[in-house]
Every structure is written in structure tokens, then in C-alpha cells.
Amino acid sequence: MNEYARQLVTQAESIVFFTGAGISAESGISTFRDPETGALWSRFDPDVMSSMRGFKEDPYLVWDWYDALREKIISAKPNYAHEVIGRLCGEKQVTVVTQNIDDLHERGGASNVIHLHGGMQVRCTMCKWRGERNELVAGYMCNPRGCPDCKSMTRPDVVWFGEKLPTDAFLTAKQKILEADLLIVIGTSGQVQPAASLANMAYGRTLSINTRDTDHVSNGVKLTGKASEILRQLVG
Ligand code: OAD
């Protein structure tokens, strides 16, 4: 293991972990683009499953897809990488900035988690209601995923292609990264902006953990391997 990287972690008082689908791959959740870990976007069309255009064309198809993903997430367990980050939350000032919609960081014990691309909640397409999937009711026009307030169609509370990231989440994430002693980027291909830009924003040091030798983190120490294995060596 890179001794310099280990020292960076030991000495840092504040750390931001910026994570992508790769950190949840070892919990059995498919990534979007990595062929070895499911590559959802080579099996499903992101233009259909992850856009308002696709949703308007066939909301039931998109809803069924997200419900299947939700079931996978609910039955998944946090892996060592989630858990070690959760443990560090009790020892240092830690913020987790994730592109993942799953809740494995929270279930792994992390307390400050910023979701850039939304999460497990759902929201109404017409009114301001936002809540849990199991609160949905029978809506208008035989719509089984109706809003409990106005009966209109609801949607997964995720950021689809062409939609803006939640401004507060992005700005807070950026601020935390600028202030942190250390940024650790884990399991992201860096292909989706503006989230990907965060990987290169740190004033402090940056470590990048990925199973591939990626080049989207330009100014950091690269550690190649599985998130859980590298973190075990880095933090123990
Ligand atoms: P990707 O699927 O694009 O990238 C996953 C990355 O994780 C790849 O670089 C893999 O090499 C790496 N990887 C796989 N297994 C790993 C492991 N065990 N340890 C470490 N690294 C591993 O996923 P994201 O970059 O997260 O957007 O994708 C970004 C966004 O694209 C997602 O948030 C999603 C998608 O469209 C929305 O849903 C809005």
C-alpha cells in the first residue's frame, strides 16, 4: 500500500468522500457503465429510463424499472467500504457526497450524506408533495402511483438527464470539498457533469480509488483496486 496515501488519511482532520456506483458494486448493485459490474446503461436505454422524455412516453415502464432497482437496493447490505466510512464519521469531520441514489452510506453508519442525484424518495409531478414510496395511493386514470395529496402521477425523486442538480446539495458539496484536508474519490467514471467536476475541486489532497486506471481525477494519488480492499489497507 502507498504509505503516503495512508499518512494522508491518518493526518487529515476533515475528509470528503465523493462516491459513485462503484462503491455499491460490492453490495451487488449494478454500476451504470462498468461491464464487469452490471453496466445498466448497456442493458437499458438511459434516454428512456433516465429522462423526462422517456417518463412522459411510458411512465409505467420507467416506474417498474425503478421499483425493481428499489427492491435490489432494499435487499442489499452495506459493504466494508460503506461501513469504514461510517466508522470514520465518528472519528473525524467526514462528509459523504454521493451520486448514488441508494441509502447504503446511511445504513453503513454515515451521518452527513449529500445526495447529488436524488435518493429513494418519490415526488409528485404536479404539486409539491415529496415522500416515501409506500405512501402512494390509487390516483387518477387508474394510476397506481398517485400522489396522496392531489392524486396526480408521482415520479422517483432522482435527477434525470437534462435536469438540474439540487442547487443546495451541489453548493454545499463544493464548499465541503474546498474546505476539507482530503478528498477521496471512490468508484465513479467521472462521465456525468456537473457532479464529475467535484473530483478536481479540492484545495487539499485528493486520493482516487477505482478498479480501473481512470483519468478523470487529474491531480490526485491513484489507488487501483476494489473500494473495500483499498480502504481496508488505508484505514484498517
Ligand atoms: P459508473 O457506472 O459510470 O462508474 C462506476 C465506476 O466504478 C467505474 O469507473 C468502475 O471502474 C468503478 N468500480 C466498479 N467496481 C468498483 C469497486 N468495487 N471499487 C471501486 N471502483 C469500482 O457510475 P457513476 O460514475 O456513479 O446518474 O455514474 C454517474 C451517474 O451516471 C450516476 O449517478 C447515474 C448515471 O447515469 C443518475 O442516476 C442521475
pLDDT of res. 220? 86
Q: Dig out the grid coordinates for 225 from the structure.
A: 483496486
Neighbours of 47 (CB within 10 A): 13
Distance CA 68, CA 72 (A): 6
Among 34, 164, 197, which residue has the most ligand 1 atoms within 8 Å of its CB, making it the best to mutate? 34
Helices (H) and strands (E) in the chain, counts: 10, 9
172 C-alpha to ligand 1 centroid (Å): 22
26 lines ligand 1 (CB under 6 A): yes
190 C-alpha to ligand 1 centroid (Å): 8
From 82, 105, 115, 117, active-site residue: 117
* Atom 18 of ligand 1: nearest residue by CA position: 226
Dihedral angle of Cα 195, 110, 69, 154, to the nearest 10 degrees: -70
pLDDT of res. 203? 81
115 assigned to active site: no
H or E segment to which residue 109 belongs: none
14-19 and 113-115: which strand pairing? unpaired
pLDDT of res. 187? 97
188 phi and psi angles, rounded to 5 deg: -130, 145
121 exposed, middle or buried (CB, 10 Å; 0-12, 13-18, 19+)? middle
pLDDT of res. 20? 98
Give the mean pLDDT per block of 10 residues along the chain (236 residues): 90 97 97 92 94 95 96 97 97 97 98 96 96 92 88 96 95 97 96 95 91 85 96 91
* Atom 8 of ligand 1: nearest residue by CA position: 189
Query: What's the pTM?
Result: 0.96
Distance CA 109, CA 86 (A): 4
